[in-house]
Amino acid sequence: MIRALDLTDAATAERVLQVQRLAYAVEAELIGFDGIPPLREGLDALMASEEYWLGRYVDAELVAAVAYELPDSETIEISRLVVDPAHARRGHGRALLDHLDELVPRPVSLVSTGTANTPATTLYLSRGYTATGQVEIAPGITITQFSRGPR
């Protein structure tokens, strides 16, 4: 089941934060960099987020979430996609992205991930995204930016 998340609800925000920290710890290991900002984000900052959120549940447990922004009428920017590592590789991230495409169809979709995060890169490429650039965030550590749709 996928549903909108209300991060002003403390219990919801706490579970999102838990999943986020677990997921970004895996990415930090993959890319060799533990300075990923959401990895260090606190509950208050997460609850103050102005992003839109969707969550994927298995039974009653939140196992994955996607955050997105709508910078203009043509674009959706996926700012976070997190999956609890205990539930990884089961299609939860793909399901969230598919649901998001149906819920908020936009001609342009943007996302980025650590260049060495092969699972995320593979997911985005398989969904029609194209790598559009890289940004160095620390010495020797880059993120790859992806887009899908007209640009």
Do 65 and 20 form a contact (C-beta atoms < 8 A)?
yes
- pLDDT beneath 50: ranges in the chain: none
Tokens of residue 104, six digits: 């908020």
CB atoms within 10 A of CB 134: 12
For 2-148, which CATH superfamily applies? Gcn5-related N-acetyltransferase (GNAT) (3.40.630.30)
- Tell me the pTM: 0.93
Distance between CA atoms of 27 and 119, rounded to whole angstroms?
A: 9
pLDDT at 151: 61
Distance between CA atoms of 122 and 150, rounded to whole angstroms?
A: 21
Question: Mind listing the pLDDT tens digit for each residue in 82-111?
Answer: 999 999 889 999 999 999 999 999 999 999
DSSP string covering 109-131: EEEEEETT-HHHHHHHHHTT-EE
Give the domain ranges of the chain: 2-148
Q: Where are the alpha helices (DSSP H) in the chain?
A: 10-31, 37-40, 43-47, 92-103, 118-126
